[in-house]
Amino acid sequence: MKDTSDIFGENVFSLSVMKARLPKETFKEVKAAIDNGKRLSQEAAGVVANEMKQWAIEKGATHYTHWFQPMTGITSEKHDSFINPADDGNIILRFSGKELIQGEPDASSFPSGGLRATFEARGYTAWDPTSYAFIKEGVLCIPTAFCSYGGEALDKKIPLLRSMEALNKQAMRVLKLFGNEDVTSIKTTVGPEQEYFLIDEKGYNARRDLIYTGRTLFGAPPPKGQQMEDHYFGVIKPRVQAFMKDLNDELWKLGIMATTEHNEVAPSQHELAPIFTTTNIATDHNQLTMEIMKKVAQKHGLVCLLHEKPFDGVNGSGKHNNWSMSTDTGTNLLEPGATPYENAQFLLFLTAVIKAVDDYQDLLRISVASAGNDHRLGANEAPPAVISIFLGSELTDVLEAIENDQPYGAKEKELLRVGVHVLPKFPKDTTDRNRTSPFAFTGNKFEFRMLGSASSIALPNTVLNTAVAESLKQFADQLEGAEDFTSALHELIRKEIKDHKRIIFNGNGYDDSWIAEAEARGLSNLKTTPDAVKHYLDEKNVALFTSHKVYSEVEMQSRHEVFLEKYTKLIDIEAKTMLEMAKQDILPAVSAYSSELAGSVTAKTSVLGSAPAFEQDTLKEISEDMKAAYEAYLDLEEDMKKSKDIDDLEKLADFIKDDVLSDMASLRASCDKLEAETAADYWPFPTYGDLLFAVR
């Protein structure tokens, strides 16, 4: 049997594989492309392509694909065979540098948010050498960027790479001011913790809502939900254990370092955490992880649900985006240092993040907005829709001392001066205690906790990188010309803390009183996706992205449209599924049961002379609730018809949010009541109890 060290990365055309297989000069070029974004020459690409093909064929691959991430948020691939006909009627296996560097899938079926109308349907994919090629099920997958004929980004990767470049540029300016001459690049790093549900495929296959939408649209609460809290970190069941082992093996083969796994709060809910890496690789890896989770689950007769809210009344699933910035010399810029100078540098980068989060609260909120995540944010299980930063009391005290020119700590007599004094060590565990904060400092990184479980992490990181790049740019602009660097630095940090401290909140984010206080502080509270997306094209947001060349204005407009399209289409499918299930499954089943009750009331009354209480009471209850359910059904049907006449996407999204969603809630409420009243034999699909407790 192979052990982990043998299989780890065995299907990845990694740096070490390239080092071993490529000529020295070619390897150097590839390394320069990875580290500093240098373009690969045609010749080098040809050599890499040939070696990559050779390596893939040795591993049994027969096809290759340019693996990319269109705006749908899932990954796409179109397989091409290495096989080409040779003159003698035989075949040769060919894969050229040109094919490596550029592919040309038909872009017309991917969402383009209007970019398609103005540009050609053709799209181009180009190899992203900063993320390694890998083999998945006999196919060589080449991570690629996807753009239109005119160069507009049609994917999530190009803006992400551009945002990393923007941050690199500005952070380098700042680091130079601190005399870090040996640093040549700065990359953002991410470790996304992924939550998911595992249910038995039999239950899944019996429910159209799960099949069509990934979540249950009906379902009365079971007697046992998560109230005992016996699942969190509980013993992992054998079937789940077998799944996790298989999953780890598959991920390790692809070089994805999945490390921790445990049960989450809700029954059937679990979490996987990888070891962090650069943001672009982490994004690719998270997409792969989600895909492989689903595939491995299938092999075990299970279904992996990645939806943010598969079950009402049970905790939903999120993703915790652990984020930091790291130099190529191995320094984590959010790690408090040991000397006054290192600490000053740390404080400046920390302040840059605080300012970025405050200035672009709306964009961060938008970056996690989706129909699915709307069920979580603001409910008492996930961070509120209000963005705030948790720093922990030690760090907050330090910032306060700086802001107010006060001495810090019991022993200190002097005022705390940035660049002069050493900061105390911040105990890591105290900074990690607050689980209710949407954006928490956890010792040497920030944990952005609002992400939904199903979404790509590309956009939240694109926003974060760009917003921090903007803070750093402003800081560098001010400090580069300063006569006395240390005192200019002190004053800058002081001023920025004063200006942005409203975003710092160390209390309980789930508390209602916080929402009121946040409003008083002027923080934005964008409750739903349509509310949030309205601000995407605000002048300051367009200015941010265009000035750092992360998106052009046209690219932003297209994303605005894709956002709304996705939201409206998704809920449209949910509503249609509900109508179908209500009319074809629920109401007929309840009708059959009530007929039986009615028959029994009539028969028994004629024999006994009085109506039997159970049958009569239940019949009455059911009849009333059926009436309500049918009325709700008709309301939803009518509003769905109305929605067809709304052409303006923003108006449609609002209509869906205000009217359709509330119709859906009423229909669900009355059907869930009917579920509780109807004999189990009659109920047409598995209940919450069946779904949540089936896996052993």
Please state the closest distance from residue 273 (CB atom) to ligand ADP, in A: 4
Q: Rounded distance, CA 439 to CA 419, Å?
A: 26
Q: To the nearest whole angstrom, how small is the minimum distance from the Cβ of residue 264 to ligand ADP? A: 13
What does the H/E/C string look like for 145-207? EEEECCCCECECHHHHHHHHHHHHHHHHHHHHHCCCCCCCCEEEEEEEEEEEEEEEHHHHHCC
Q: What character string, x for contact with ligand ADP (CB under 6 A) and - otherwise, covers 142-171?
A: ------------------------------
* DSSP code per residue over 612-630: -HHHHHHHHHHHHHHHHHH
The C-alpha atoms of residue 618 and residue 614 are separated, in whole angstroms, by 6
Q: How far apart are CA 612 and CA 593, in angstroms?
A: 16
Minimal distance in Å, beta carbon 322 to ligand ADP? 3
Residue 170 Cβ vs ligand ADP, minimum distance, rounded to whole Å: 19
The CA distance from 438 to 357, in Å, is 11
> Closest separation between CB of residue 509 and ligand ADP, Å?
17
How far apart (Å, rounded) are the C-alpha atoms in residues 334 and 393? 17
Min dist. Cβ of residue 283 to ligand ADP (A) = 13
SS (H, E, C) 25-57: HHHHHHHHHHHHCCCCCHHHHHHHHHHHHHHHH
Residue list 477-506, contact with ligand ADP (CB under 6 A): none
Shortest CB 36 distance to ligand ADP, Å: 21
Helices (H), ranges, 229-329: 238-253, 279-299
- 166-225 residues near ligand ADP, rule: CB under 6 A: 189-191, 193
- Shortest approach of ligand ADP to residue 321 CB, angstroms? 8
Among residues 110 and 323, whose Cβ is nearest to ligand ADP? Answer: 323
Residue 283 vs 322, nearer CB to ligand ADP? 322
The DSSP letter of residue 525 is B
Q: Minimum Å distance from CB 681 to ligand ADP?
A: 46
Cβ proximity to ligand ADP: between 207 and 320 the closer is 320
As to burial, measured by CB atoms within 10 angstroms (0-12 exposed, 13-18 middle, 19+ buried), residue 243 is: buried
Nearer to ligand ADP, 323 or 536 (CB): 323
Residues 219 to 278 in contact with ligand ADP, rule: CB under 6 A: 273-276
At its nearest, how many Å lie between ligand ADP and the CB of residue 301?
Answer: 29
What angle, rounded to 10 degrees, do the helices at 157-177 and 340-359 form?
Answer: 140
Q: How far is the CB of 282 from ligand ADP (least distance, A)?
A: 8
Nearer to ligand ADP, 326 or 594 (CB): 326
- Give the DSSP H or E segment for 576: helix 553-581
- Alpha carbon of residue 121 to chain centroid: 28
Find out whether 442 and 432 touch, Cβ atoms under 8 Å: yes
Q: Give strand pairing partners of 144.
A: 127
Total binding residues toward ligand ADP, as defined by CB under 6 A: 16
Sites for ligand ADP among residues 411-470 (CB under 6 A):
432, 442, 444-445
| Binding residue for ligand ADP, selected from 185, 268, 322, 345, defined by CB under 6 A | 322
Nearer of residues 322 and 388 to ligand ADP, judged by Cβ: 322
Nearer to ligand ADP, 27 or 349 (CB): 349
Closest to ligand ADP by CB, 193 vs 470, is 193
Minimum distance, C-beta of residue 260 to ligand ADP, in the bound complex (Å): 7
288-296, 321-329, 604-612, 654-662 -> range binding ligand ADP (CB under 6 A): 321-329
The sign of the CA dihedral 573, 575, 580, 581 is: positive
Nearer to ligand ADP, 149 or 426 (CB): 426
Helix, strand, coil proportions of the chain in percent (round to 5)?
A: 50, 15, 35
Q: Is the dihedral of CA 158, 159, 161, 165 positive or negative?
A: positive
Q: Which is nearer to ligand ADP, 468 or 533 (CB)?
A: 468
Q: Choose, by CB under 6 A, the member of 323, 441, 545, 655 that binds ligand ADP.
A: 323
133, containing H or E segment: strand 133-136
Q: Return phi, psi of residue 349, to 5°.
A: -65, -40
Nearer to ligand ADP, 421 or 445 (CB): 445
Token pair of 669 as six digits: 């409420």
Q: How far apart are CA 69 and CA 202, in angstroms?
A: 31
> Which stretch, 105-113, 319-327, 477-485, 650-658, contacts ligand ADP (CB under 6 A)?
319-327
Nearer to ligand ADP, 333 or 476 (CB): 333
Q: For ligand ADP, what does the binding mask look like between residues 331 and 370, x meaning CB under 6 A?
A: -x--------------------------------------
Residue among 324, 434, 436, 643 that touches ligand ADP (CB under 6 A): 324
**Considering the complex, what minimum distance in angstroms separates the CB of residue 492 from ligand ADP?**
25
Please state, in angstroms and as integers, the Cα–Cα distance from residue 40 to each residue in 24, 159, 165, following that order: 14, 20, 17
| Tokens representing residue 626 in the block | 């059926």
Contacts of 239 (CB under 8 A, 6+ apart): 300, 302, 695, 696
Residue with smallest beta-carbon separation from ligand ADP: 191
Query: Would you say 236 and 244 are in contact if contact means Cβ atoms under 8 Å apart?
Result: yes
Nearer to ligand ADP, 64 or 448 (CB): 448
- C-beta closer to ligand ADP: residue 103 or 192: 192
Work out how close the CB of 464 gets to ligand ADP at its nearest, in angstroms, rounded to a whole number: 11
CB contact set of 61 (below 8 Å; sequence gap of 6+)? 82, 135, 138, 139, 140
49 CB contacts (<8 Å, ≥6 apart)?
95, 96, 97, 99, 100, 101
Shortest Cβ 63–ligand ADP spacing (Å): 32
- Which residues fall within 8 angstroms of residue 149, CB to CB, at 6 or more apart? 119, 120, 122, 123, 124
Of residues 275 through 304, those in contact with ligand ADP by CB under 6 A are 275-276
Whether residue 142 contacts residue 133, with contact meaning beta carbons closer than 8 Å, is answered with yes
- Pick the closer one to ligand ADP by CB: 326 or 577: 326
Where on the chain is the footprint of ligand ADP (CB under 6 A)?
A: 189-191, 193, 273-276, 322-324, 332, 432, 442, 444-445
